[in-house]
Chains A and B, each alone.
Chain A
Amino acid sequence: AQSVAQPEDQVNVAEGNPLTVKCTYSVSGNPYLFWYVQYPNRGLQFLLKYITGDNLVKGSYGFEAEFNKSQTSFHLKKPSALVSDSALYFCAVRDPGDQTGANNLFFGTGTRLTVIP
């Protein structure tokens, strides 16, 4: 069974500083990993995903994430935070080896990012 953990409910960062939102996962095989962002009263917006290949994945709005197999992590990063980045961020995992047929995204509990002006 797959699972994903976001150890921080809340992350605060000053505008212009680098930000990191943490995510660790557990799957039986090689994971497919996704990051989504949810703004207030909006749906989830896709940021980036890791399927295979380069461990550093670049996505929308200047975000990137690094897949680390040994640490089973997929942390979301941005070099310089903007106030407009303030939102709820979700990490999700999909296990391509899952034989149950569920074959769906398992989401973490979310991390609320607040960028302070």
Chain B
Amino acid sequence: GQQLNQSPQSMFIQEGEDVSMNCTSSSIFNTWLWYKQDPGEGPVLLIALYKAGELTSNGRLTAQFGITRKDSFLNISASIPSDVGIYFCAGNSNSGYALNFGKGTSLLVTP
């Protein structure tokens, strides 16, 4: 599959701060998905993006499909303790059907 570079690997922030994480690929993607995984649970779909330049919000979360089609970012505004978890980006390239995952961003939020 395609290599996805997700950064940062981990973040340790205070409640109320904004968070930003991103993913880049070496090839053009037609889909970007963002998932959150809590301990002992499966990944939960947060936002799905299908068009270059698309900006989509889900509550305090905002994600964008980069115009180069090789990157995406996820922002979380005014973080709260329940935002703690691992966030994965995932996407499909034009060259195949495989869903490629980033290595994840581990988010810790202190009250």
Partners in one complex: no
